[in-house]
Structure 1
Amino acid sequence: MAHTDRYDFPLSTSSGVAAERYQTGVDLLLSLWPGAEEALEAAIALDPAFALPVAARARLHAIRSETTIARALVSKAQTLVSVNGTERERSHVEVLSLAITGQSAKALAAALTHADRWPRDILILSLPLGAFGLFAFSGMADHDQARVDLCERHARHFDDSDWWFLTYRGWAHGENGNIQRGLCFTERALELRRHNVNAAHAFAHVMYEAGASDSAERFLDGWLPEYPRSGVLHNHIAWHIALISLERDDIEGALNIYNANVAPAVTTAVPVNVVSDTSSFLWRLQAYGHSVPKGMWEDVAKYSAAYFQQAGFPFADLHMAMISAATGDKEGLQRRSDALVKLVEAGKLPAGPVVPALCDAARAFVEEEYARCAQILEPVAMEVARIGGSGAQREVVEDTLLVALMRSGDVHQARALLDRRLHRRPSPRDTRWLSQLVTT
């Protein structure tokens, strides 16, 4: 008897139980819920020649930034699938291999080609999507629109009961500014599978972009306790709650959430989330005019010293630059900026000149050269999407520009930027700032 997954793709295994365990593992992986590794391991134990659970385990380890084991597993999967695999399975493993071995441009092209032929192969369709997907880290300025286009191109292959597709379709529309569609799809995804971290995360982002921070906080306060602290996004979702507290000027509450969930000493998140969440929270706190408690920046710098030392990962470069700037590491910041300029000149940094510019702006800001900071940021503000991540994560750059404009005395430009932000997303912090400018 031939075994299939829930999208009716044939699976190259003689064990029905192995097929079931594989499907369970993929669902847990794509919802980022604990238990995926155990389910995939069970599938492998039941049929050691079955390549797909080995490949899915490789993807799981790659998500956790466990690169060495991810590469070893995907190599094993390639060997297995070459002996016992369908054409789709061989392509599936090859795309994962390209992504896991760092061949991002080739992986993106291969994933899109694979999706055109097998659009319901969701583990591959997932690769270009999300804040840390292949589109986001491609260096494209319009990757938000690219995600929408990809989802809409294949929407006819999914129905209203597909929690996975609804999650990413909602995320794509919400990040691209279509708040109503984003809310509709992510709410439906959560109704279908509440223990779906990606849907909860997407819903929080859409609510944030809608300016509905209080509603987002109520949802996350009720949902987060159901998610084990060991979950890969537990700390990042808590970061969202801390930002909401910070936005309404509840500094004590924001710091309590940070210290309990986000700080390097307590987090279980992957390094890119730890570095970005800690640095962007503390940078915002400081930029908003509040004191960062003693030792916090140093703790972040100590943690980050083990990661992202080589320039060329733009999303990490921004946050490492903020850490260097905030802790007075001028030499480290200059090395990174110089290395990024060389990569741009050599045509090896798809995100382009915006990345070294962000490093230079961070230094100008902490040195209180606010006019120079604004002068650096204004020409590249529309290009910041090239570094990847989400709108909420990248907003720290626009916050920096806005504060620099206000502190440099450029009231006209500051008010114009605030007006645009408030039109896009109501914010109690921006409302307070606008009120201060009006009375200036």
Structure 2
Amino acid sequence: MAYTDRYSLQLSTTSDHAAERYRAGIDLLLSLWPGAAETLEEAITADPDFALAHAARARLHAIGAEATEARAKIATAVEIVARNGTERERSHVDVLSLAINGQSAKALASALAHADRWPRDILILSLPLGAFGLLAFSGMADHDQARVDLCERHARHFDTDDWWFLTYRGWAHGENGNLLLGRSLTERALELRRNNVNAAHAVSHVMYEAGAGDEAEAFITGWLPGYDRSGILHGHIAWHAALIALERGDTDRALSIYNEHVAPSASTAVPINVVSDTASFLWRMQAYGHAVPAGLWDEAATYASQYFRQAGFPFADVHMALVAAATGDKIALEQRANALTNLVEAGNLPAGPVVPAICRAALAFAEEDYVGCVTLLEPVASEAVRIGGSGAQREVVEDTLLVALMRSGEAAKAQALLHRRLRRRPSPRDTRWRDQLTSV
């Protein structure tokens, strides 16, 4: 009997149970719902020669920052698929192997080519998409538009109510500025599959970007308790609620959420999420003029010191720089910035000079050299998109520039930036800042 996945693509397995467990495991993996690992392991147990089950398990290890396990599993998949796989399956495994072994540029090119031939191979199509996808971390300045273009190019291959495609298509449009469409698509995806972390995350984003803070907080409060704390994005979705509380000036609420869900001692997320969420929350809190309780920065620094020691991963580099700047580790920050500059000069950092500039601007800001911070950051702030992540995550860069403008006496420039931000979305914090500048 020939077996297929949910999109009618052939699966080279001899086991009905393996095929069923694979289909279920892929759905869990691509909705980031707990249970994917166990389900995929059941597929492997049912058919140890099922290459795509090994490949999917490798992908899940990679998402969980389990690099050694991911490389071992994908090596097994490569060996099996060479003797027992279709052309599509061999290409599928090859793309994942490139991504898991750190060949991101080749993986992106191969994933796009694969999607052109087999657009309904959703595990591969998912690789360029998302806040931490291959496009976001490519260093491109137009990766938000590139995600939209990719989704629209292949939209005709998916049913109107395909929960997976609705999730990623909605995310792409929301991050690219089409908030109404993004919200419509992601909310529909969540209606179709409630246990869909990526859809819940995307809904939180589009609400935040639209300035619908109360709605976003109510949504997160209602949805998050049904998602196990061990889930990879549990702390990050709570981080969104903490930012909303911080934006309206409710520091008690913001800190309560942070301490319960986001802090290193509370979160079970992967290191990149823990480092970025803790650093950006505490940095914002301090930049907005609120006191960060004693010990929180030290806890964040202790955790971060275990990871991302080598420069060259721009999203991590920027957040490591925030931690170093806030805790006075000037030597570590300057070493990272210098290493990044060397990578830029050697042509080995696609994101370019914006990365070391942000790092050095963070140090200037922490040392209260606001003029110096503006001098470093103003020329490159529009290029912050190159570091990857989401708009909400990168906003910490613009927040830093805005506060530096206000504190360096550049009221006209600060007002102009606030005007642009408030045209984009309502914000109680930005409104307060605008009123303060107007009354001076």
- Taking structure 1 as the reference length, the TM-score comes to 1.00
Return the offset for 1:411. Answer: 0.5
Deviation at 1:24, TM superposition (A): 0.3
Shift of 1:151: 0.2
Give the 5 Å matches for 1:30-429: 30-429=30-429
- Alpha-carbon displacement from aligned partner over 1:203-229 (angstroms, at most 9, x marks no partner): 100111111111011111000000000
In 2, the alpha carbon distance for the partners of 1:191 and 1:359 equals: 41
C-alpha displacement of 1:374: 1.0
Cα distance in 2 for partners of 1:47, 1:343 equals 45
Question: For 1:163 and 1:5, how far apart are their aligned partners in 2?
Answer: 16
> After TM superposition, where is structure 1 displaced by more than 4 Å over at least 4 residues in a row?
none
Separation in 2, partners of 1:290, 1:216: 23
Please list every run of 5 or more consecutive structure 1 residues that lacks an aligned counterpart in the other structure: none
Distance in 1, Cα, partners of 2:272 & 2:75: 24
AA paired with 1:174?
G
Give the deviation of 1:14 after TM superposition.
1.3
Q: Secondary structure at the match of 2:378?
A: helix
Q: SS of the counterpart of 1:349?
A: coil
Gaps of 5+ in 2: none
AA at the equivalent of 2:336: R
* Cα deviation, residue 155, structure 1: 0.3
Q: CA–CA distance in 2 between the matches of 1:29 and 1:350?
A: 29
Backbone CA RMSD of aligned residues: 0.5
Deviation at 1:269, TM superposition (A): 0.3
AA aligned to 1:175 is E
Shift of 1:376: 1.1
Residue-by-residue CA offset, 1:240-280 (whole Å, 9 max, x unaligned) = 11001000100000000000011111110000000000000
Alignment-mate amino acid for residue 431 of structure 1 = T
Instruction: Give 2:433's aligned residue.
Output: 433
Take 1:343 and 1:4, find their aligned partners in 2: how far apart are those partners? 45
Letter in 2 for 1:122: I
What's the CA shift string for 1:140-197, capped at 9, x where partnerless?
0000000000000000001112000000000000000001110110011001001000
Deviations 1:108-146 (A, max 9, x none): 000000000000000000000000000000000000000
Q: Which amino acid aligns with 1:406?
A: M
Counterpart amino acid of residue 292 in structure 1: V
> Offset at 1:91?
0.3
Percent identity, please: 73
- Cα distance in 2 between the residues matched to 1:38 and 1:67: 18
User: How far did residue 426 of structure 1 move?
Assistant: 1.1
SS at match of 1:266: coil
Deviation at 1:412, TM superposition (A): 0.2
C-alpha separation in 2, matches of 1:265 and 1:207: 28
Q: Note the alpha carbon deviations across 1:325-382, whole angstroms, 9 max, x for none.
A: 0000010011001100100000000000000000110011011111111111111011
For the residue of structure 2 that corresponds to 1:95, the secondary structure is helix
Question: C-alpha separation between the residues in 1 aligned to 2:219 and 2:304?
Answer: 31
Q: Distance in 2 between matches of 1:209 and 1:115?
A: 30
